[in-house]
Amino acid sequence: MIAEFKLPDLGEGLTESEIVSWHVAVGDTVTLNQVLGEVETAKAVVELPSPYAGVVTAITHEPGTMVEVGEVIIAFDVAGPAIGAGERRDRAPGAASGAGEAGGGPIATGAGAEPDAAAAPKRVPTLVGYGADPESSKRPTRRARVFGTAAAVTAGASGARVQGDRPRSTPPVRKLARDLGIELASLVGSGERGLITREDVLAFAGDHANGSGAAVEAPASYTPQGGITDAREVRTPIKGVRKFMAAAMVESAFTAPHVTEFLTIDVTAGMDFLDKLRGLKEFAGLKVTPLTLAAKAVSLAVARHPALNTHWDAANQEVVAYNYLNLGIAAATPRGLLVPNIKDAHELGLRGLAVALGELAETARAGKTPPADLAGGTFSVTNIGVFGIDAGTPILNPGEAGILALGAVRRTPWEYQGEIALRQVMTLSLSFDHRLVDGAQGSRFLADVGAMMADPAMGLVMG
């Protein structure tokens, strides 16, 4: 039989992914759970394991193609009648579907056969988005496109893209529209079958519609180079992490009233403390930096000032207070800005935080941050000091009440014990959501973090 594999829901309400690479080709024999290729969502690069064992008969999308969830991306020749993975199966009277053995993948009985309900095993999900064993559905399947190979995939009818009476969108998009006071009925969706996307809402709200006209093609990772070329401008498609972060930053700027405060402190004692840690065998091989100390200071400060660790739930008109800290760390990667978070950071000591920060940075640089690590953050820290920047006005990660920016540590003339001396000085920049955090609360939080950065022994008092 010919079995189709449709792009599954990879989590976080994302509706599309880009095919990055294929590890198999038409004619290859694959085993169950063998990695077929990689796709890039708006948040991470994810490997796709095979839900079938069989021979690849068609690859319907080339690398670099954006694919909607539910579209056929690859097909296999396996034993049994034709079925599709990743969606509900159509059942004619007298037909039944189930899961095969691991060696042959899911199978279904032929039309007209009497089902044996007691003997039919249940399909075991092998990838996010498969869900429970599906019930009947009347949706027609679409014929898959084949690149470079004439292999047939399925004889399903092509479904027309139609716009329903009720505007079609995902829950995150509906929430964004509510927050911005936009009626979805007034928008025309640009997604498949008229789906209203986040970009449609943001373009309507901020008049950020994409321009049209001829463009010079450029790779997704294009970086402007010096010199004069024949092309007067280069246009790069907005997709992947860049597209997601742009939408997130616009959403944050439109919904959360930002306030930013600054505090310049003498961190000489804090830097001396880090030097001592680097000499301890418990910290051998670990990277111990001002970010490590700041992570611990934030963990202690949010316990004293819980307003900085909350969420404004506009849909339910509630303020959500977190009794845990998932600490987001802004990371500049070749794919763009990512903010993975350390789960339950409040439970970690300095060594645990140093380990977690090292693993987080290594995974992010390799482009292997899983979607789960990018979700659920409650407060974030960004280290702009590594770029030689002293201060800034960081934009809140959507859904969070605060973000702390660490400036560069510089040797600066400073008043110390009644005299002028060269001291190690840095500036902390705190942005917070003024709906959730009053000025006094933000100021006290920043003062506490600064006190612990300046003198880590203060952590014993505040912890």
What residues are labeled active site? Answer: 434
Angle at 342 between CA 339 and CA 343, to 5 degrees: 125
Give the single-character DSSP code of 141. Answer: P
Contact between 3 and 83 under an 8 Å Cβ cutoff? The reply is yes
Contact between 431 and 259 under an 8 Å Cβ cutoff? The reply is yes
Helices (H), 159-211: 171-180, 198-206
- The C-alpha atoms of residue 2 and residue 168 are separated, in whole angstroms, by 31
Contact between 129 and 44 under an 8 Å Cβ cutoff? The reply is no
Task: Take residue 76 and report the two structure tokens written for it.
Answer: 């296999």
Give the single-character DSSP code of 315. Answer: T
Task: Take residue 388 and report the two structure tokens written for it.
Answer: 């030689």
Torsion of CA 146, 147, 149, 151, to 10 degrees: -10
Task: Take residue 396 and report the two structure tokens written for it.
Answer: 């809140």
Contact between 19 and 67 under an 8 Å Cβ cutoff? The reply is yes
Q: How many residues does the chain have?
A: 463
- The C-alpha atoms of residue 297 and residue 453 are separated, in whole angstroms, by 7
Per DSSP bridges, beta strands 2-6 and 83-85 are parallel
- The C-alpha atoms of residue 277 and residue 441 are separated, in whole angstroms, by 31
- The C-alpha atoms of residue 135 and residue 289 are separated, in whole angstroms, by 54
Contact between 54 and 76 under an 8 Å Cβ cutoff? The reply is yes
SS3 455: coil
- The C-alpha atoms of residue 18 and residue 38 are separated, in whole angstroms, by 9
Helices and strands, counts by H and E, the chain: 9, 20
Contact between 286 and 280 under an 8 Å Cβ cutoff? The reply is no
Contact between 20 and 37 under an 8 Å Cβ cutoff? The reply is yes
- The C-alpha atoms of residue 39 and residue 127 are separated, in whole angstroms, by 13
